[in-house]
Amino acid sequence: MSKRRTLLSEAELKIATKSTYVTTDEEALNLFYTDCQLRNLRPYTIKYYRESLQTKIKPLVLMTEDDIKNMIMEMQRRGLKVTTINTKLRAFKSFYNFLHKHKHIKKNPIADIKLLKQRKEVVPTLSKDQIKLLLSLCDRKTFVGVRDYTIMMLMLDTAIRVNELANIDVADVKHNEIVIRETKTFFERIVPMSKKLKEQMEIYIKIRGYAESDKLFLNQDGNELKKRSIQTRIEYYGKLSGIKDVRVSAHTFRHTSAKLFIQNGGNAFHLQQLLGHTSLEITKKYVNLWSTDIAESHKKYGALNNII
């Protein structure tokens, strides 16, 4: 028998000290991703964590508070947007909070680090004339044109997220409403269809015909239309239209829908249900921005109106 080493190995030290601290990134990440799967997080969320939990500074298990601060400053130097930086920080917070809660690390390096302050910006939305222009560019003598026209109408009528739209099945379209199952919040919701959208949806479904895929929106090969393909199509029409002052995207359609809903007299509670927000506070941001235009309200209700 060979002579025993004086110092214990890392594995032996864990046994001796009953320590559960992780020593490698692989071990830490495996524990975290296993927990994500046990909590039934969406594949999209886990993919976001995998992409965000990457750093060239040093191994994640050795990161200190100063290292994370340096990482933030490096991202700022590179000119990354506050939203992008905060997105990465949220992933780091979830990761380190999990490890610390389950005693896989001794100290949480991100515990005292806050998200960057973000200025509230008004997202430019499409005007009614711009909406009409985009709709007119869909060639409704073709399958793709009818499909894209229907997609635009659906986004405007329901303020649906692009990921939710891509995951609608034909069977989810029922009479005057659509069941949204693949939601960001995990809560299914039902969105109503206006008369115009219902009529257009019936036209599209007839033209779509039978396909092996259950998905509502298909490509020309009969396969499901992916989220990225929908985004690309909307961007294509944006370039074709020549619209310069507004970024034509699926997200802009969502904001435009919310704005028009409020300006047409809709209330915050109904908008919350339409948008699929879990908190009314999030929805109120839309209401505060677009409530029948402040200038118009001020003309009617300004304090000086009844004084001088």
Q: Do residues 189 and 273 make contact, with C-beta atoms less than 8 angstroms apart? A: yes
Residue 285 pLDDT more than 90? no
Q: Which of 86, 59, 63, 64 is nearest to 75 (CA)?
A: 86
Identify residue 46 by its one-letter amino acid code: I
Question: Which band of pLDDT confidence, cut at 50, 70 and 90, is reported for residue 129?
Answer: very high
| Tokens describing residue 20 | 């559960």
Whether 14 maps to a domain, the answer reads: yes
Whether 1 maps to a domain, the answer reads: no
* More confident of the two residues 138 and 7: 138
Residue 295, Cβ density class (10 Å: 0-12 exposed, 13-18 middle, ≥19 buried): exposed
Task: State the DSSP H helix or E strand holding residue 174, giving kind and residue range, or none if neither.
Answer: strand 173-174
Residues 142 and 265 in one domain: yes
**CATH number for position 166:** 1.10.443.10
Alpha carbon separation from 225 to 61, 133, 171, 215 (Å, rounded): 40, 23, 16, 8
Q: What is the pLDDT of residue 275?
A: 72
DSSP 3-state helix, strand, coil percentages of the chain (rounded to 5)? 55, 5, 40
Residues 151 and 273 in one domain: yes
Residues 137 and 238 in one domain: yes
Q: What's the residue count for the chain?
A: 308
Taking the alpha carbons of 289, 278, 252, 93 in that order, is the dihedral positive or negative? positive
Whether 121 maps to a domain, the answer reads: no
Residues 139 and 92 in one domain: no
> The domain containing residue 26 runs over which residues?
10-101
Domain count, the chain: 2
Instruction: Quick: pLDDT tens for 174-224.
Output: 988 988 887 665 667 888 888 999 999 999 999 999 999 999 999 999 999
Whether 132 maps to a domain, the answer reads: yes
Largest distance between two CA atoms of the chain: 103
Whether 92 maps to a domain, the answer reads: yes
Q: How far apart are CA 295 and CA 308, in angstroms?
A: 19
